Structure 1
Amino acid sequence: HPESGTELFGKEGEQWLSDKAKAQYQFDDWAKDSETLPYWKSWNSFFTRQFKDRATQRPIAGPESNQTVISPNDGSVFRWQDNVLETDVFWFKDMRYSISDILSSSYKEQQALIDQYDLVNMFKGGTVFQTYLNPYNFHRWWVPVNGEVLFDPIVIPGDYFNKVVIPDFAGMGEVSTISFDEAMKQGASVQKGEEMGAFNYGGSSFVMIYQKMPNKKLVFIDAEGNLIPKEPILPEGSASVGGITINIGAQI
């Protein structure tokens, strides 16, 4: 709602976005609807803000090569696990999931698509890489590899809680809505760093599932080449960062 911008940022000298908060939000990095108050026209406009100069602030690692996979989002590494079988359980937002849980849908037409591409078997034995976003992060995600879109994106139905009513890792809030970029359509050729979509209103978790590749091993390293442990230091709260932070566009 347009009034959410005025209510959010208020008048100069009375707004919550103080000098300290601006530093925490890296205020000068972001494109704004206006360079004067209220800066952004609504809460969602602020939440889904873009970089002023993404090429400088988030350069793409190895843009022409798939030897390096980039992080699709800003955030902290939650954990990663390899050789994940169909019914292996891993934890996400303090809830139990498996490959068969994620790659299933209560909508018949979505399940038919999942079955058509045999997605469970495609990713069985693969690797799961999980990250966590805090409120200060960039809340959009980019294509991690060069490739082709197999089918139109689907949003698998689930529950949304307007407050946390279940055990939840470090106070992580649920996403309200996600939206995919219009270019993400079946048959489209995509490049590393191309925008895939955005979280709207909220959202704090991201998972990538990699296929098992015969005679190859995935190694996760940060932008400086350091190995990423399977279970790194975790954030202490929803506004905290973990021991290993990653930037969108950087190699993982």
Structure 2
Amino acid sequence: MYGVLAPFCNTEAGYRAFTNEKSRDVLVTTEGGWFSSEARGAQELRLKMTFEEAWVCEPDKPNMGFTSWDDFFVRRFREKVRPTINPDDPSSINAACEAITYRVCKNAQPTDQFWLKDMSYSLDHILNYDPLASQFTGASLLHVVPGTYYAARLDDNPDPDVVSRSQAFVTAISTRALIFIQSDNPAIGLMCFVGVGLGEISTTKLEVRQGDVLKKGDEIGSFHFGESTHCLIFRPETKLSLTEEPTPPGTARQVGSILFYVEKASIN
């Protein structure tokens, strides 16, 4: 589908295709629809609850109250379905998205060599040569890839496209939303959330502005149509302990769950 839609989606008409009312025609319960028994069954199998229990929607209205396919794509969990764990604990860092750990990189450099089978990360490129980038030389970088909760159909024989197979490389070349956050915890200090739209048809939307004061669980943005991935980048002074991966392998971490524990800053 990506190969077919990509040439058209970076146009005004492509944007309207997913945001106008007509796009709701696929949000139906008939065969092939996103609310068909097959599609709902695949999603409910993963979430262990019904669609109505999991997502903010209006079951009594046409198309469950969604105003467009894009509105459906960025649907929100109901309160308490994905609670923020330890919301007042400054020594833990929570998962920003529903996602699977792809790679943890230590000592990331401003620029690095790229090899076909062992791709590195180039901070200057990822951070678009931002003036703050120099503070992250030697950084710890966590790269995670999408969970499957936005996709309601199963594929018994997945065949990732070339973009999906080049996860590290696309963090330096694809559309990116950079959100630098200064933590009140000196052991964390400055960090950066990097939202990456994996392909030409992906969109990242920011919900925060410079100077905003955030707390755990606040929404900072969203990914729209297309695949997406993100990185969390921490200064080398920030000492982190990654929590155990969920089981079985390939299971996404739940948004709001504990991702890292932070060691206390040393006193010189």
Structure 1-normalised TM-score?
0.65
CA distance in 1, matches of 2:183, 2:123: 22
Q: Deviations over 1:164-189 (max 9, x none)?
A: xxxxxxxxxxx2x11111xx222221
Which protein has greater RCO, CA pairs closer than 8 Å, 6+ apart? 1
Alignment match, 1:99: 123
CA distance in 2, matches of 1:154, 1:212: 17
Change (3 A) 1:31 1:95: farther
Change (3 A) 1:10 1:188: closer
- Give the Å deviation of 1:52: 2.0
Alignment match, 1:246: 253
Q: Any stretches of 5+ residues in structure 2 without a counterpart? A: 1-19, 45-50, 152-176, 185-189, 260-268
Aligned residue identity for 1:48: V
- Give the Å deviation of 1:245: 1.9
Structure 2 residue aligned with 1:179, among 205, 210, 217?
Answer: 205
- Give the Å deviation of 1:154: 10
Q: Work out the number of aligned pairs and report it.
A: 198
Structure 2 residue aligned with 1:68, among 68, 88, 92?
Answer: 92
Tell me, yes or no, if structure 1 residue 22 matches structure 2 residue 40: yes
- DSSP 3-state at the match of 1:82: strand
- Give the Å deviation of 1:18: 2.4
CA distance in 1, matches of 2:195, 2:31: 42
CA distance in 2, matches of 1:218, 1:192: 18
CA distance in 2, matches of 1:202, 1:76: 17
- Report which of the two has the higher share of helix: 2
Aligned residue identity for 1:220: L
- DSSP 3-state at the match of 1:78: strand
Q: Any conservation in 2 of the 1:146–1:192 contact (CA below 8 Å)?
A: no
Aligned residue identity for 1:131: V
Structure 1 residue aligned with 2:242, among 220, 235, 243?
Answer: 220
Q: Deviations over 1:128-155 (max 9, x none)?
A: 11111145249xx9x998847x9xx999
Alignment match, 1:44: 70
Alignment match, 2:200: 161
Q: Any conservation in 2 of the 1:85–1:125 contact (CA below 8 Å)?
A: yes
CA distance in 1, matches of 2:87, 2:230: 22
Tell me, yes or no, if structure 1 residue 133 matches structure 2 residue 146: yes
Tell me, yes or no, if structure 1 residue 5 matches structure 2 residue 30: no
CA distance in 2, matches of 1:145, 1:186: 9
Aligned residue identity for 1:25: Q
CA distance in 1, matches of 2:144, 2:32: 35
- DSSP 3-state at the match of 1:38: helix
Aligned residue identity for 1:185: R
- Give the Å deviation of 1:98: 0.8
Change (3 A) 1:30 1:155: closer
Alignment match, 1:59: 83
- Give the Å deviation of 1:15: 3.0
Tell me, yes or no, if structure 1 residue 124 matches structure 2 residue 137: yes
Q: Any conservation in 1 of the 2:24–2:68 contact (CA below 8 Å)?
A: yes
Tell which deviates more after alignment, 37-46 or 186-195. 37-46
Q: Any conservation in 1 of the 2:147–2:252 contact (CA below 8 Å)?
A: no
Q: Any conservation in 1 of the 2:29–2:36 contact (CA below 8 Å)?
A: no
- Give the Å deviation of 1:196: 0.2
CA-based RMSD: 3.8
